[in-house]
Amino acid sequence: MNRMMKIGMIASGLLVVLAIFAPLLTTYDYKAQNISERLQQPSLKHIFGTDEFGRDVFSRMVYGTRISISVGIIAVLIATFIGISIGAISGFYGGLIDNIIMRIVDIVLTIPTLFLILMLIVFLGPSLINIMVVIGLTSWTDIARIIRAEVLSIKKIAYVDAAKVIGLKESTIIFKHIIPNALAPAFVYMTFGISGAILIESGLSFLGLGVQPPVPSWGNILTSGKDYIETAWWLTAFPGLAIFVAVFSYNLLGEGLRDYFNPKLKREK
């Protein structure tokens, strides 16, 4: 395990722990308003200050971690499941099926992802579930192409021919014998995908199309802070820093995993 992978794993793991144990980390209700304490600077009482409604920013940031991490993980799981299934079928059967699937992938890739996400969110409505599903449904193409390439290589190996000879079903060969051996690049994709999903969710929330107040997310905390950027710097600084740390951590983990699974780097070492 290389240094980048260790740092990324520790940092991203801490974010997950923060999301899980959010209720234990703050004594404030993230929805509780106290106008008499509005826009207070960071202090011992409110370590991240308060917002325009007097709500404790630290508690909102901590609970916002739950939103961002859950959106990132679940959206990527949806995209990975779809991408692995389609990519494996395309690579295994080849021929006409492969051509049709790859042309569909090419068509989806020609559509700007952000435009497609915005269109679907406007149509379905801004909710946490819809955001997870929409990001997942629009992010599967890259993993499908990656898995297809892996399957095209793996299906030429002798044990796949042996599985066919003994009469195993094609579905068994694909999902039990081929896919498990093609998952290494999928793990790398998933870590990069989580950081991408976090950015998309934050952007949607910033535009008012993501998680709706009073439920906190890093994006909608940024939105409320933009009107007070000159007088309440903490409303933009802390959520912006949180987004940066989360994206950097998962990208670092992804870089570490890519190096770990790279056979050339292993031979060099």
pLDDT tens column, 166-220: 877 888 888 888 888 888 888 888 888 888 888 888 888 888 887 887 888 888 8
pLDDT for 55 beyond 80: yes
Residue 31 lies in a domain: no
Residue 247 lies in a domain: yes
d(CA 105, CA 92): 16
Section 44-50 average pLDDT: 91
Backbone angles phi, psi at 205, to 5 degrees: -65, -35
The pTM (predicted TM-score) of the whole model is: 0.85
Residue 28 lies in a domain: no
**Residue 210 CA from chain centroid, whole number:** 15
Total structural domains within the chain: 1
Residue 36 lies in a domain: no
Distance (Å) of CA 133 to CA 74, 82, 104: 8, 12, 19
Residue 30 lies in a domain: no
Residue 26 lies in a domain: no
Residue 141 lies in a domain: yes
Helix, strand, coil in percent for the chain, rounding step 5? 75, 0, 25
Q: What is the CATH number of the domain that holds 9?
A: 1.10.3720.10
Range of the domain at 73: 3-17+52-268
Residue 195 lies in a domain: yes
